[in-house]
């Protein structure tokens, strides 16, 4: 069996003395693993780094086997990642979130967003809202999507200010004000009608708090897991720059 696809490398593990197992998110074949023989060589190591894009050719005798990858790098980002702790932890968060979807299950929208994040991985203004959006997208792709388009109480599509922690639906300012202590803030950049450009730090913080609640309730908690370490490390680095405090 054989296929060719574009992939974003999200993990690399040593295998034997000379080889590695590459984990990649691909456009048409989902999150997929493959053995790269000779992947620990001096020539191959710079290409086989998390955050790089590559053309992948997967081959195996049977579909259920691990198979092998032939790798042709198309975009190298490792140097940019190593220059920034935020970037490094941000990519680690992307990888951890992608591991929530079943292996070999296609999610082209997640692939596209993950590549966009990788392209902006060292952009201090673009990266935080992209990661919040990605967490919202992961919830949707795993069956726990938030409904942020209209107010759950009135049906209005404007003046949305909160999210119900029970239903995951948006609530307008007027309808939610009496219950604001029990609702989650909905930052402006997550509303469809608001352009996502350099949101203020408080909105970014509210966005991560919103997604954290639903990620824990619907995905990590039921699996007996805590939030990814990369997420906490990324937010700690972001807090230093945004002056959120401890």
Host domain of residue 116: 81-148+186-242
Question: Measured on CA atoms in the order 207, 209, 215, 220, is the torsion positive or negative?
Answer: positive
Q: Report the alpha-carbon distance of residue 58 to residue 68 in Å, rounded.
A: 6
Tokens 């140097």 belong to 79
pTM: 0.94
> How confident is residue 78, by pLDDT bands cut at 50, 70 and 90?
confident
pLDDT on residue 198: 79
Contact 36, 71 (CB under 8 A): yes
Cα distance between residue 213 and residue 219, in whole Å: 10
Same domain as 132, residue 21: no
26-61 pLDDT tens trace: 999 999 999 999 999 999 999 999 999 999 999 999
pLDDT at residue 244 in the model: 57
d(CA 113, CA 242): 24
Do 52 and 92 lie in a common domain?
no
Tally of domains within the chain:
2
Average pLDDT, the chain: 93
- Residue 91's domain is classified under what CATH number? 1.20.1440
pLDDT at residue 152 in the model: 95
Residues 111 and 142 in one domain: yes
Check whether residue 128 and residue 218 sit in a common domain: yes
Q: Give the pLDDT score at 80.
A: 85
Identify the residue whose tokens are 């940019």.
80
Q: How confident is the model at residue 8 (pLDDT cuts 50, 70, 90)?
A: very high
38 plus 131 within the same structural domain: no
Tell me, letter by letter, the H, E, C secondary structure of 58-100. Answer: EECCCCCCCCEEEEEEEECCHHHHHCCHHHHHHHHHHHHHHCC
Mean pLDDT computed over 213-223: 97
């Amino acid at each position: 069996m054989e296929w060719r696809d574009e992939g974003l490398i999200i993990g690399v593990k040593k295998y034997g003395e000379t080889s590695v197992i590459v984990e990649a998110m691909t456009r048409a074949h989902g999150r997929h693993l493959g053995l790269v023989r000779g992947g620990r060589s001096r020539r191959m190591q710079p290409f086989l780094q998390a955050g790089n894009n590559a053309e992948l050719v997967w081959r195996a005798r049977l579909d259920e086997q691990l198979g092998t990858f032939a790798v042709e790098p198309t975009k190298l980002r490792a140097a940019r990642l190593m220059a920034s702790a935020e970037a490094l932890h941000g990519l680690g968060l992307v990888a951890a979130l992608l591991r929530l979807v079943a292996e070999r299950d296609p999610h082209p929208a997640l692939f596209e967003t993950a590549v966009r994040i990788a392209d902006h991985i060292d952009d201090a203004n673009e990266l935080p809202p992209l990661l919040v959006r990605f967490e919202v997208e992961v919830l949707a792709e795993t069956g726990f999507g938030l409904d942020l388009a209209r107010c759950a109480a009135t049906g209005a599509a404007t003046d949305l200010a909160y999210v119900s922690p029970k239903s995951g639906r948006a609530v307008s300012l007027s309808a939610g004000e009496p219950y604001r202590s029990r609702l989650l803030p909905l930052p402006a950049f997550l509303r469809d009608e608001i352009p996502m450009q350099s949101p203020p730090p408080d909105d970014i913080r509210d966005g991560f708090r919103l997604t954290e609640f639903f990620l824990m309730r619907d995905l990590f908690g039921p699996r007996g897991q805590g939030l990814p370490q990369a997420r906490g490390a990324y937010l700690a680095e972001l807090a230093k720059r945004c002056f959120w405090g401890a």
